[in-house]
Amino acid sequence: MLEKCLSADDRDHPDHPAALALAACLALLAGPLSALAQDAGPGQGDGPTQQSSSVQRVEIAARQGATDLRRAASVAKQIYGRDELDSFGDTNALDVLRRLPGVSVGAGGPRMRGLGAGYTDQSAQAIAGSINIILKDAPRRTQRDLRLGLTDGKQRPRANLNLTLGEAKGPLGLSLPVSLFEWRRENTSATDRQMPGIDGLPAHAQQLGHQQVWGWGYNIGPRLNWKISDEQALALQGFAQKGYWHNRTNQENHVLSGQPVLEDDTQQQGTWQNLRGNLTWTNRFRDDQRVELRAGVQQSKWTLDVVNLRQGSERLRTVGHGDEEGLSQAGKYSWLLGQSHSLTVGWDLEAKRRLEERSVTEQGVPVLADFEGQPFDAQVRRQAFYLQDEWEISPALQMYLGLRNERIRTESHGNAAPVINESSVLSPLWHLTYKLDPKGRDMVRASLTRSYKAPVLSTLLARPSVNSQFTNTNAGNTELAPDRIGNPALAPELATGLDIAFEKYLPAGGLWSVGVFHRQIASLVRTVTTLQPVAWASVPRWVAQPLNFSSATTS
């Protein structure tokens, strides 16, 4: 299982756990053979005067735990092995992430270092950092694993089921995990509203909200491994997920003064669906050279049905659906220049497209006749090429250099002329590890990186959404109840980061570490609310829109 935490480039290294495990297997085979040879020697068993041969069997166990893998890594990272994950009985990845230092999990996904969910990403987009979840390989033997779970709930226990089937036939290995899950939560809230009211004059109200959230879903993730030869391997991995969700919110309103803006009661429901497929081919055509090719396809779909209720009667209804599709292709060529020096060159290509359709009606009448039911789509295309050099300069000093050039093209379509935006990002990186003692128990790590964050496809869609409390487009709204629209002209955020850490590895196992980091972010994207003339209203409206408007630092 530990081999999955390392790249295939490391597996031929003489100190790699796979090589040590092979040596251990050979030692175990040699032990019984030598014992058999001595027991069957001449004179054995001929008489009581012959002393019996006593051969001590020595077993060599070689295994690197998560701490050892972290210690041997060329860059700073935290590694958590399968044993540690199983010890807590987690049923999904988010439960695992909630326990990790520096990671928090919210509605938008995992977050690192206090930055938003969108900053934890992949490749050179990881301004906050990267989370790499390495899944199990297909088993080398027959596997049958069933886990049933119950979680305490407000009204009744919540259940989950995880079933894993595995088979191995010669060079082929197949794994088929299946999961069923459900959730049910109740939330209460108290909101004190002191703000301009519907008439623009000061108003004051209190709202007590009661929310019920429930749903269920299932997923399946088949995986096939084929060892074509000692040099070539092929892996095919799929994933399919379907879910159904519901949300009901009731408000208890207390008007203290004026004509306050109050939230409606809502009844919401919808579905989501995710499909992914990935193919990886590796070929070590020489002892010092290796090539890896990857291809992937993905599709996400969703539906939405939201009803706004006022005094028990339907006032607004929003019905929508959308899908997002993507294709990717990547490859890399690794060349071992010496025992402690390697070079890697590669590329990463990706194309994504998001399509949305939505219709909002007020008592059956379209709110925005020019926009309701019209398709809006956005596209992102990335082309990246990179070079990486990993070099162990001396037993105490290890350096990792990299350079990545990435070109990004975004395109957004609606009921107006398409908007196209192109940009190019050059991302150098430098990692240094210095061991303060010969055994490597104390070390200092330093990193200097340049990273970026491309716009999310949904933020590029220039479809306006009128605030549900101010649907009359012949009148204005308030700054605290703005309309919303995307921005097709968004450019990537750029960040320059510095990380320094000290790690001390304890003789009996375990470690403690302390680190600092700093990021300077340019072209920061934030949602800004301004009063402006708009195409969907006869008067100026307050509008919230994402903009590249400033810079920021985080430490």
Render pLDDT for 270-302 as a digit per residue (tens, 0 to 9).
Answer: 999 999 999 999 999 888 899 999 999 999 999
Is a pLDDT exceeding 80 seen at residue 49? no
288: which 2 tokens? Answer: 């010092």
What mean pLDDT do residues 446-475 have?
Answer: 89
How high does pLDDT run on average in the chain? 82
pLDDT for res 105: 80
- State the average pLDDT over residues 506-534: 90
Give me the pLDDT at residue 117, please: 67
In this model, does residue 61 exceed pLDDT 60?
Answer: no
Q: Which residues neighbour 535 within 8 Å (Cβ) at sequence distance 6 or greater? A: 370, 464
Residues constituting the chain? 555
Residue 294, pLDDT score: 97
What's at 301, amino acid-wise? K
- Give SS3 for 388: strand
Q: How many angstroms separate the Cα of 54 from the Cα of each of 31, 253, 255, 475, 541?
A: 12, 87, 92, 98, 93
pLDDT band at 138 (very low <50, low <70, confident <90, very high): low
Residue 177: the pLDDT is 92
Q: Say which range, 116-130, 255-269, 392-406, has the weakest mean pLDDT.
A: 116-130
Q: Stretch 245-261: mean pLDDT, rounded?
A: 94
> So what's the pLDDT on residue 123?
63
pLDDT score of 67 more than 70: yes
pLDDT digits (tens, 9 = 90+) for 223-251: 999 999 989 999 999 999 999 999 999 99
pLDDT at 323 (0 to 100): 95
pLDDT tops 70 at residue 397: yes
**Taking a C-beta distance cutoff of 8 angstroms, is the pair 541, 534 a contact?**
yes
Binning pLDDT at 50, 70 and 90, where does residue 427 land? confident
Of the two residues 222 and 136, the one the predictor is more confident about is 222
pLDDT of 429 over the 60 cut: yes
Cα–Cα distance for residue pair 284/437, rounded to 1 Å:
35
Please tell me the distance from the alpha carbon of residue 369 to that of residue 32, in angstroms, as a whole number. 84
Q: Name which of 77-86, 98-107, 511-520 the model is least confident about.
A: 77-86
**Average pLDDT over every residue of 124-146:** 76
User: Average pLDDT for residues 85-113, to the nearest whole number?
Assistant: 75
Confidence bin at 38 (pLDDT 50/70/90): very low
211 band by pLDDT with thresholds 50, 70 and 90: very high
